[in-house]
Structure 1
Amino acid sequence: MKRSAIKRRPLADTVLQTLEAEAKEYRESYGADRLYFIVASSGRKRWEVRYKKPSTGKWAWMGIGGYPDRSAKFARQEAQRIAQLVADGIDPVQQRRGDEAHPFSEAAEAWYRDKQDRGRAEKTLRGIRYWLDNDALPALGAQPVDKISRGDCARLQEAIEKRGAFNTAEKSRTWLNQVFGRAIAMGHTENNPASNLADIAAQPPQEQRYPHLMEPELPDFLRALEQSPSKLVVRTAAWMVVRTASRPGMVRWAEWSEIDGNVWRVPAAKMKMRRDHVVPLPDQVVADLEALRPMTGRSRYLFPGEGAVTPVISDMAINTAFARIGYRRRMTGHGSRHTASTLLREHGWPKDHVEAQLAHKEAGVAGVYNQANYLEHRRRMMQWYSDYLDALARGISDEDKAVFKQRIEQG
């Protein structure tokens, strides 16, 4: 039910069970004992009690658990117990801290489990896990969450910035705020020492576009890639990135179970925009994968790594393959997406088809999603693109150009 439909208080159990989430978290008075019911935008529900701190007389909040794990009856009893503590001059939050210390590691791991439970993308979870294990927990893990200072958080941010990981530093600010926000809601601390870190963040260097090639530069690059000294697994991944204009990370983590003939079905959990994505595979890519299958077909992944630490080829493997043929800082895996987008648009392929192939998000209702409708169009477009790359590599003739132009006109 909508909260606007609430007719009486204390709130009935049926109301607590059916209250709907809104775009922003909201708090409703239960109607007794200064007890409040909170509904998060995710749909999760919890209890909080409002009380006056005996030491200052200022109003404060104390979390007393989630709903339905904590019933209304329990919440009322706990609210009455807190009111008695306050009447006796005891701050209930301070008492809780004295009873139980909550290290940052505990708060962070609980926050991470929430992310897992809410179905966050695998790539996002891997990034969070790496940040926890290599940055946050070594710096803050053993400290009680309510004893961590702004200086502690600032030093963590500075350490990340010093190694040039400005994107990680930005994500670190967001994640720290979420960890402390959850700890506040749980009553483990009253302050968020990670607030305002952006005010002292180092300015990252001006972002440059991914290096990429224009059409006149492609013939030499393609011929060099054909002669690449890289191993078959890496060469095949590099060609798959070039011919499909897919994100390198998406290709690196591709699984054999996702390949269905000449279609690659990427689940939403792996995608940046959290939507299923369908990639038509040109004949050349299908042939490459069939040649690769005897080598890696028993693995879960198309492009497995060589050790237990990394299940797939490294995030530098494709760029390294390009560097080995003389294209360091001239062409990158992500840059191949710019190359494909520019070439396809310049030759007259519809923008919507190109954007769908690149898995870019469309605004409004259209974003829900034209991808399926465009699949056959994209299949023809990407086969054209792959054939065109081959023609460039062997030396494209005027006759070839006329044939390719006719194929575009036929859609």
Structure 2
Amino acid sequence: MARKTTPLSDAEIRSAKTKDKLYSLYDGEGLELRISAAGNKSWLFRYVRPHVKKSNYIKIGSYPETSLAQARKARAEYRELIAKEIDPQKWLDAKNDRIRNEISSTLAEVAEQWFAIKFTKVTPRHAANIKTTFTMHLFPTLGNWPVNELTAPVVIRELKPLEAAGKHETVTRACQRMNELMTWCVNTGIIQHNPLAGIKAAFIAAQSTHMPTIKPEQLPELMRTLHYAQIRIVTRCLIEWQLHTMVRPSEAARTRWCEIDIENMLWTIPPERMKQKREHQVPLTEQTLALLDYMRPISSKSEFLFPADRNLGKSACSETANRALRRMGYAGILVSHGLRALASTTLNEQGFDHDVIEAALAHQDKNQVRSAYNRATYIERRRKLMEWWSNHIEEAATGKMIISGKAGLKVV
């Protein structure tokens, strides 16, 4: 018959004397108080590890800092784990790792880890925008906060001044990016849940705004202004190229000579330079080919059709056309991205097939099957659309020869 252990009492523990060697007092069910020759008293829990069936000790604490009642409470917790076939030692290790992780993981630290992964999936420009959101609006006040201490009220309080300043789009982006980071923290085990889910509801929603553009009937005036504008010839050509091809500002500014197929009258933009990350083909017209002929003596030694002003090894900036338009008197009236809207409005008013127009603008069709079909079959129909559009632009110049005029070229 197993010997029954008599539970310890506080008086017995306090009066326990040191001996020449280490010894223990037993409270039963694995709990013991070990007393060293130096007089130190430590609570230990002895048990047989589940699965491996080996004896193991867990230190609960020192006496009197850890009382008898506290030691018995820890023993009860460990025995409950063992009953569930859970090793208390492994459970403690995992708990301590989690606590250390949460304490040492500040917003700035985990953000850098997330950046290393996130930035492999986005363009350098988008990566820079994400980092700016954190470095300008979040790190200054929240960067040293452990992420497990970030709550919705804390983050909302820090973003409210931006809302008060009318920077609603910035607030929206900050909420989105913080949520994405916190979800990553949950998935990687840094925190247990995302406390910031839904914080954007605490702010005024950003109102979508359309890019400033002009009406179709104002195109002749734009062409006359461009004709007389005191701007660099490369910038003038860039604006015309974007107007004729209907591409986005960055796609136009970074056009490479190697992307141009003169024989087949086709410009192929690779996926990495497109917003939707899909290759886009632009049928070229007589006017755009003439513009290429004009640019060849200027930039043929560069990789780029429109090189930077002082460095042939770099392309023109995507903001180059916008700056020129502002100098031409179109501040608040027209931006370079608005040239796409001008083309879309004009072509729709002329009765061109809406799907062909959308394909020419490289807009994403929500129906993936239809999108693939359109990309494969619309190229010839888009050629006719582009020819009409280039001719329309030339006619809008009211008889004055512009750089891409098909009847001849002259510097203006």
TM-score by length of structure 1 reads: 0.66
Distance (Å, rounded) in 1 between the aligned partners of 2:99 and 2:350: 66
Shift of 1:143: 3.2
Instruction: Give the counterpart letter for 1:339 in structure 2.
Output: L
Kept after mapping to 1: 8 A contact 2:134/2:174: no
- Counterpart of 1:387 in structure 2 is 391
Equivalent of 2:174 in 172, 176, 185: 172
Contact 2:172 2:205 in 1 (8 A): no
1:403 — aligned with what? none
Output the amino acid matched with 2:379. L
CA-CA distance at 1:356 after TM superposition: 0.5
Distance in 2 of aligned mates of 1:315 and 1:159: 31
The residue identity in structure 2 corresponding to 1:238 is I
Choose 1 or 2 for highest CA Rg. Answer: 2
Match of residue 110, structure 2, among 89, 94, 107: 107
Q: Which amino acid aligns with 1:375?
A: I
Answer with 208-217 or 334-343: which moved more: 208-217
Partner of 2:261: 260
Q: Is the deviation greater in 164-173 or in 352-361?
A: 164-173
- How many angstroms apart in 2 are the aligned matches of 1:233 and 1:165? 35
* Distance in 1, Cα, partners of 2:192 & 2:375: 47
Instruction: For 2:178 and 2:308, locate their aligned partners in 1 and report how far apart those are by CA, in whole Å.
Output: 32
- 1:394-409 equivalence runs, <5 A: 394=398
Residues 1:349 and 2:355 aligned together: no
**1:84 paired residue number:** 89
Gap change, CA 1:178 and 1:311, over 3 Å in 2: farther
> 1: distance between equivalents of 2:298 and 2:399?
32
Please provide the CA RMSD for this pair: 3.4
Aligned to 1:66: none
The 2-side partners of 1:258 and 1:160 are apart by 42
User: Could you give the per-residue CA deviations for residues 324-379 of structure 1, whole angstroms, max 9, x where no partner exists?
Assistant: 22322222222221211121122232222111101122232111241232112212
1:358 counterpart residue number: 361
SS in 1 for 2:129: helix
Counterpart secondary structure, 1:386: helix
Partner amino acid for 2:198? N
Which range moves more in the overlay, 230-239 or 172-181?
Answer: 230-239
Larger deviation: 296-305 or 210-219? 296-305
Give the C-alpha shift of residue 236 in structure 1: 2.0
Query: Does the 8 Å CA contact 2:250/2:317 hold for their aligned counterparts?
Result: no
CA distance in 2, matches of 1:258, 1:152: 50
Q: Which residue of 1 aligns with 2:226?
A: 225
Whether the 8 Å contact between 1:258 and 1:265 is mirrored in structure 2 is yes
Structure 2 unaligned regions, length at least 5: 1-49, 52-73, 78-84, 401-412
Q: Which residue of 2 aligns with 1:12?
A: none
- Are the equivalent residues in 1 in contact too, given 2:106–2:145 (CA < 8 A)? yes
1:371 matched to 2:375: yes
Confirm or deny: 8 A CA contact 2:253 2:316 kept in the other structure.
yes
8 Å CA contact 1:236–1:289 kept in 2: the answer is: no
Q: In the superposition, relative to structure 1, how do residues 109 and 335 fare at CA in structure 2: closer, same or farther (>3 Å)? A: same
Q: Which amino acid in the other structure matches residue 374 of structure 2?
A: N
- Tell me what 2:217 maps to: 216
Match of 1:292 in 2: 295
The one-letter amino acid of 1:84's match is Q
The CA distance in 1 between the partners of 2:171 and 2:163, in whole Å, is 6
Partner of 1:197: 199
Q: How many residues of Structure 1 are paired with residues of Structure 2 in the alignment?
A: 315
Provide closer, same or farther for how the CA distance between residues 367 and 297 of structure 1 changes in structure 2, counting only shifts above 3 A: same
> Quick check: 1:145–1:189 contact (8 Å CA) kept in 2?
yes
> 1:12-411, aligned counterparts within 5 Å?
84-86=89-91, 90=92, 92-98=94-100, 101-117=104-120, 119-158=121-160, 160-161=162-163, 164-204=166-206, 206-261=207-262, 262-305=265-308, 312-364=315-367, 365-394=369-398
Deviations 1:119-144 (A, max 9, x none): 43455334324334444444433433
- Once the two structures are superposed, what CA deviation does each residue of 1:273-297 show, in whole Å capped at 9, x if it has no partner? 2321111233323333443344444
Distance 1:174 1:304, change over 3 A: farther
Q: State the percentage of identical aligned residues.
A: 28
Structure 1 unpaired stretches of 5+: 1-31, 34-53, 58-78, 397-411
CA shift, 1:230, in A, is 1.8
Distance in 1 of aligned mates of 2:145 and 2:293: 53
Distance in 2 between residues matched to 1:252 and 1:380, nearest whole Å? 25
